[in-house]
Homo-oligomer: A and B are copies of this chain.
Amino acid sequence: MTEPMELSRSECETLLRRGVVGRVAIATPAGPYIVPINYSVSVGHVVVCTTPYSLLGSQGRDRLVAFEVDHFEHPRMRGWSVVVRGRTEAVEDHEELRALMRVLPRPWASGHRSLYLRIPLDEVTGRRLGAGWDLEENLPVHRAL
């Protein structure tokens, strides 16, 4: 078994920028939910795109959420995770929306998404299991930074 270790803020941000899919946790009166979603990091925020009628779109606006990305290497029983916590804001400025549409990854799921939510990178924490291995080496995707 390996020792859990905290990641630095800059390690967390690098790993966040590499990924294209993560998970949002939202609290609702009926308890918490977890929703996998495509995302991008842009100008100090995690940005996701959903429909106004989804669980996230209807209950996740202007709410405290947690957003998580991780990667596990099963054969070696190790991995890392990064969590961003903050209050979501709907992006409403037209200029900003146009800029976001250029940087966001193409969603994997079909459907029309018109609601852009951003989570500020205020509280960013991460952990890794074990020292002495390259966290970025075996990532399934390498988005250009």
- A-to-B contact residues, CB < 8 Å: 1-4, 20-21, 23, 25-27, 30-34, 36, 64-68, 70, 72-74, 77-79, 81, 83, 85, 106-111, 129, 140-141
Contact = CB atoms under 8 A, between A and B. Distances in A.
A1 B32 contact: no
A36 B79 contact: yes
Nearest to A20: B74
Contact of A27 (B31, B67, B73, B108): B31
Classify the secondary structure of A's interface with B: strand
A102 to B, nearest CB: 18
Contacts of A67: 34
Contacts of A20: 74
